[in-house]
Amino acid sequence: MPQTLARHEDLLALSEEAQKLLFTEARSANTFTDEPVTDEQLRAIFELTKWAPTAANTQPLRVLYVAKGEARDRLVQHMLGNNAAKTAAAPAVAVLAADLGFHEHVPHVFPIRPELKDSFEADPERREAHARFNATLQAGYFLLGVRAAGLAAGPMAGYDGDGVDGEFFPDGRWKAILVVNIGHPGENAWFPRLPRLEYDQVVRHV
C-alpha cells in the first residue's frame, strides 16, 4: 500500500492562514499603493514583536520612522541604486538600528543580574557585538511583525551605513542595521519568486 505522507503544513500548530500571511505567500514588496500606514499600525507591530526573545532580555533594537518630506529626503540620499526611488515612494520607512547603549536598561529588564550593566560598560567590543546580534534577531521578528499587520515589508541592506548613522544618529549610540519600506503592495510589487535551498543543503543531523 502506498504510504500517506503528512503535508509539512499539517505538522504545524500555526494555522495555514497564518503560515501564508507570515511566510509561504508573503513577499518583499518593491512598490506600494498610496494607502497610508497609520501610527497605530506601527505601534501594533511593536506591541506584538516586543515579546520575542533576546539574550538576557536586552532588547537592543531601535526603530526610527522617517516621514515623507525633509526627513525622508535626508534618508533617500544615502540609499544606493534603485533603493533610493523605492524609499522615496514608500508610505512608511523604518531605519532599524542597534542601540550600543542598551545596557543602561539592564537593571530594569534583567533584574536577575543587574551587574551585567557594568560588565557591558567595561567591554565596548563585546557590548557592540551583543547589540548587533540581538538587534538583528529582532529585525527578523520585526519583518514578520510587519506582515502580521497585513502590510508588506521591503527590507534593504543597500545604503551607506556611515551616511545614515551620521545623518540621524550623530551621537554614535544607534547604529543602522537595516532599512525597511512598509506599505500595501502596489502594481508589479513582486519579482518572480526566487528558489530556496533544499533541506539537505541547509540541515544536517549528527
Of 143-182, which residues contact a copy of itself (CB under 8 A)?
143-144, 147-150, 153, 155, 157, 168, 177
CB of 65 to a copy of itself, least distance (A): 5
d(CA 64, CA 79): 15
121 interacts with a copy of itself by CB under 8 A = no
CB of 189 to a copy of itself, least distance (A): 14
80 interacts with a copy of itself by CB under 8 A = no
152-156 and 92-99 as β-strands: parallel, antiparallel, unpaired? Answer: unpaired
Name the residue with cell 520612522: 65
76 interacts with a copy of itself by CB under 8 A = no
Which amino acid would we find at residue 166?
G
Within 185-204, the residues that bind a copy of itself by CB under 8 A are: 191, 194-197, 199, 201-204
Q: How far is CA 197 from CA 31, 78, 154, 194, 202, in A?
A: 26, 32, 21, 10, 7
CB of 67 to a copy of itself, least distance (A): 7
61-65 and 174-183 as β-strands: parallel, antiparallel, unpaired? Answer: unpaired
Size of the site for a copy of itself (CB under 8 A): 78
Q: Which three cell numbers stand for residue 192?
A: 518572480
Out of 33, 52, 160, 189, the only residue in the binding site for a copy of itself (CB under 8 A) is: 52
CB of 118 to a copy of itself, least distance (A): 18
98 interacts with a copy of itself by CB under 8 A = no
Out of 6, 34, 171, 188, the only residue in the binding site for a copy of itself (CB under 8 A) is: 6
d(CA 112, CA 34): 47
With helix as H, strand as E and coil as C, how does 140-161 read? HHHHHHHHHCCCEEEEECCECH
Residue 76 or 149 having the CB closest to a copy of itself: 149
30 interacts with a copy of itself by CB under 8 A = no
77 interacts with a copy of itself by CB under 8 A = no
Radius of gyration of the chain (CA): 19
